[in-house]
Amino acid sequence: MHRAERLTPAGIAPGVPLHITENGWPTGPDRSPERQAEVLETTVRAIAECRDTVGIGAYTHFTLRDADSGASGIFHHFGLLTDDYEPKPAFAAYRELIARFGG
């Protein structure tokens, strides 16, 4: 749908791969680290399942570590690690997903 409605009219060839970038789900109040791992796994598996059909060439998670794990706003908590590099559950999940689907 995105290709047909946006890319083709813009003159972008159908074979150009899509790159999904800056994707993530932050932790915070009512957003547990375990839920972050679940959302990441669901997202990456869905992308992997349709990558050939849709033409997805790459997926990049938004950020490796939190900007400020002590901050109250969720926008500081997108990392797979805390700001002192302690792994959140999503870190292990992402490693497993890369081993399975990526390279």
97 within domain boundaries: yes
67 within domain boundaries: yes
8 within domain boundaries: no
Give the pLDDT confidence of 17-71 residue by residue, as tens digits. Answer: 999 999 999 999 999 999 999 999 999 999 999 999 888 999 999 999 999 999 9
**Residue 9: φ, ψ to 5°:** -60, -25
pLDDT confidence of residue 15 = 84
pLDDT confidence of residue 70 = 95
Q: Which two tokens stand for residue 12?
A: 């972008």
Query: Residue 4 — left, alpha, or beta (φ > 0 → left; ψ -120 to 50 → alpha)?
Result: alpha
Q: How many separate domains does the chain show? A: 1
3 within domain boundaries: no
Contact yes or no for 13/53 (Cβ under 8 A): no
Name the DSSP letter for residue 21.
Answer: E
More confident residue, 79 or 13: 79
10 within domain boundaries: no
Name the DSSP letter for residue 23.
Answer: E
pLDDT confidence of residue 85 = 98
21 within domain boundaries: yes
What Rg value do the Cα atoms of the chain yield, rounded?
16
Q: Which residues pair with 28 in a beta bridge?
A: 31
Read off the pTM.
Answer: 0.88
31 within domain boundaries: yes
pLDDT-derived band at 103, boundaries 50, 70, 90 = low
